[in-house]
Amino acid sequence: MAHAAPRSRGAIEPGRTTTPDIFDARTHRAAKVVIPVLIGLVYGYWAAGNRRDAGPITGWNLLFGFLTALVFAVVLMALLAVAPKLRREAHAVVWGAFCGIAVGFLFSQAGGSIYRSTALGLGVAAGVTLVMFYRFYTHERATDQRPATDQRPG
């Protein structure tokens, strides 16, 4: 005869389905800066590599890569700080615009025409906006976006 494995009270009771936080607050504060900087460095290296087009590495190319990384990281940190406070529609549009601009810029540095870069950026922006809107729409709590007319006077 089979028996169920014992589980903790938190796994059984409804409303207690949060995942454990294994990092302390200091680690989270550091990650809010370190992760965008690392992603920015990768983006800057990629943009500088696209612009260099297999040519020699020059000081101007390094400067371009670091400035691109700096701008990308600062905009990403600002987006991570401000975007969650927006409504889901604006939140999705901001992420879509950011991703579309980033991809369009990378493509333009690789030698693509301005029209193809713009078309690619707009396509990526539209796709990311749709995906992010779907994600924000399906993951919000029911009380977050409820109109005030649904509440009865009490």
5, part of any domain: no
Q: Whole-model pTM? A: 0.74
115, part of any domain: yes
Rounded to whole angstroms, the Cα distance separating 101 from 96 reads 8
Residues 92 and 73 in one domain: no
Rounded to whole angstroms, the Cα distance separating 68 from 52 reads 14
How many domains, in total, are found in the chain? Answer: 2
pLDDT, mean over the chain: 84
Domain boundaries, position 104: 86-140
4, part of any domain: no
Rounded to whole angstroms, the Cα distance separating 80 from 98 reads 11
| pLDDT of 148 | 47
Q: What is the pLDDT of residues 10-21, one digit of tens each?
A: 555 655 556 777
19, part of any domain: no
Q: What is the pLDDT of residues 44-100, one digit of tens each?
A: 999 999 888 878 888 899 999 999 999 999 999 999 999 888 888 999 999 999 999
Among the residues of the chain, which ranges form H helices? 9-12, 25-52, 59-82, 88-109, 114-139
Residues 73 and 93 in one domain: no
Distances 91 to 36, 133, 150 between C-alpha atoms, Å: 18, 8, 24
